[in-house]
């Protein structure tokens, strides 16, 4: 195990801001990962696990912790006679490569999650989701290192406590587990999931009444590209962490009151949930509060294509980004009565104001 010191983190994150890691370890195998965690725990050193850097904001002063860069690679497939398939990927596998692989195998269940940046190990932590699918829909189990038990454990889907952009690893027992690999249960030759209205409309426009997995993946990537939700260095909006705020979920009665208050002259997007609550569009709320796509505050601002993305430009600092994020949150709260919460994790801030 090689412990590096004061390693820059900005080049390793999609926002490209933030200071260095006090300690930095590259774990290409499980033995190195476990040794690094034991070294940190023995010395009382905080640990931060870095994947693709697409869902993290790092303070300009850096992180006084050991940043563990997970590089475990490998995939394996098991086909079952009942038509299901179990696809296992190590935590360091790029997420979209796994989705492309599943689609190429003709295994349904991940196709709408195409184009999401980051690594496989982060997917269950955030319960990543898009266009009508999320990890909870296909997660079978995962292996993780338990820092309390000091052993490798296997957790089933129910153990992971997956919710909307939440999990055991995010809010139930943060910092306890480090994901090693994830197994998904997919459907051999299954039909793609087409329940998201925007995706369904686009497929209908193309005359695809029975789209293939490849069709759905292609159109999801196209939708994400039009919203600057793909990592493309030629895109002026590329320096973001995707959606900066979580779409709020409210009781139906509260959503009704908000719609009466906010949606004069415009229908408020509403996404009813199985438990009777209603998920709202944070991007719509931001625009309804008076912000416009492309609006700038010096070197930071909103994406020109999606109001939910906060973007860094030349000269930006993490402090600039959070100051603007607080302005957005405060105006939405003051004008509409809804408090938005950040989706990315915030590292190294003494008081980020969230």
User: Residue 237, by phi and psi: left (phi above 0), alpha (psi -120 to 50) or beta?
Assistant: alpha
Question: pLDDT tens digit string along 283-302?
Answer: 999 999 999 999 999 999 99
Q: Which of 69, 143, 147, 165 is catalytic?
A: 165
Distance CA 32, CA 36 (A): 6
Residue 151 to residues 88, 256, 267, 353, Cα–Cα distance (Å): 20, 48, 52, 36
Is 151 an annotated catalytic residue? no
Which of 129, 164, 163, 127 is CA-nearest to residue 142?
Answer: 127
For 17-31, the pLDDT digits (tens) are: 999 999 999 999 999
How would residue 2 be classed by pLDDT, with cut points 50, 70 and 90? very high
Both structure tokens of 39: 């070294």
According to the model, what pLDDT value does residue 123 have? 97
Determine which one of 243, 287, 303, 329 is catalytic.
243
The pLDDT of residue 345 = 95
What pLDDT sits at residue 266? 78
At 267 the pLDDT is: 86
Question: Which residue from 195, 198, 213, 128 is spatially nearest to 163, judged by alpha carbons?
Answer: 128
**Per-residue pLDDT tens for 187-232?**
999 999 999 999 999 999 999 999 999 999 999 999 999 999 999 9
Q: Is residue 263 scored above 80 in pLDDT?
A: no
The residue annotated as part of the active site, out of 4, 38, 259, 343, is 343
E-state strands within 91-199: 107-108, 129-130, 133-134, 139-146, 151-156, 177-188
The β-bridge partners of 156 are: 141
- Show the domains of the chain with their CATH numbers: 4-70 (3.30.43.10), 75-226 (3.30.465.10), 249-347 (3.90.78.10)
Residue 264 has pLDDT above 90, yes or no: no
What pLDDT sits at residue 142? 98
Do residues 293 and 254 touch, judged by C-beta distance below 8 A? Answer: no
State yes or no: is 343 an active-site residue. yes
CA-CA distance, 100 to 114, in Å (whole number)?
7
């Amino acid at each position: 195990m090689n412990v590096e010191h004061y390693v820059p983190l900005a080049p390793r994150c999609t926002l490209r801001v933030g200071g260095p890691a006090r300690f930095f370890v590259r774990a290409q195998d499980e033995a190195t990962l476990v040794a690094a965690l034991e070294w940190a725990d023995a010395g009382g050193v905080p640990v931060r696990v870095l994947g693709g850097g697409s869902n993290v904001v790092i303070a300009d002063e850096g992180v006084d912790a050991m940043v563990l860069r997970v590089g475990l690679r490998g995939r394996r497939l098991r086909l079952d006679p009942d038509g299901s398939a179990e696809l296992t990927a190590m935590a360091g596998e790029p997420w979209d490569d796994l989705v492309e692989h599943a689609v190429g195998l003709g295994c349904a269940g991940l196709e709408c999650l195409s184009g999401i940046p980051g690594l496989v190990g982060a997917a269950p932590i955030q319960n990543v989701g898009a266009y009508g699918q999320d990890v909870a829909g296909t997660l079978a189990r995962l292996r993780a290192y338990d820092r309390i038990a000091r052993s490798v454990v296997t957790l089933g889907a129910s153990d992971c406590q997956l919710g909307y952009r939440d999990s055991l690893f995010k809010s139930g027992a943060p910092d306890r587990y480090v994901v090693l690999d994830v197994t998904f249960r997919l459907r051999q030759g299954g039909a793609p999931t087409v329940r998201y209205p925007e995706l369904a409309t686009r497929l209908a426009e193309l005359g695809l009444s029975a789209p293939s997995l490849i069709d759905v993946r292609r159109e999801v990537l196209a939708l994400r590209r039009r919203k600057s939700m793909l990592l493309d260095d030629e895109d002026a909006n590329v320096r973001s962490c995707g959606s900066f705020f979580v779409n709020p979920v409210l009781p139906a009665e509260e959503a009704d009151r908000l719609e009466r208050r906010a949606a004069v002259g415009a229908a408020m997007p509403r996404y009813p949930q199985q438990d009777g609550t209603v998920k709202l569009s944070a991007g719509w709320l931001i625009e309804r509060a008076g912000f416009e796509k492309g609006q700038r505050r010096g070197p930071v601002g909103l994406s020109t294509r999606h109001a939910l993305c906060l973007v860094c430009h030349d000269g930006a600092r993490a402090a600039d980004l959070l100051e603007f994020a607080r302005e957005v949150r405060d105006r939405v709260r003051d004008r509409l009565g809804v408090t938005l919460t950040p989706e990315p994790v915030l590292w190294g801030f003494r008081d980020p104001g969230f």
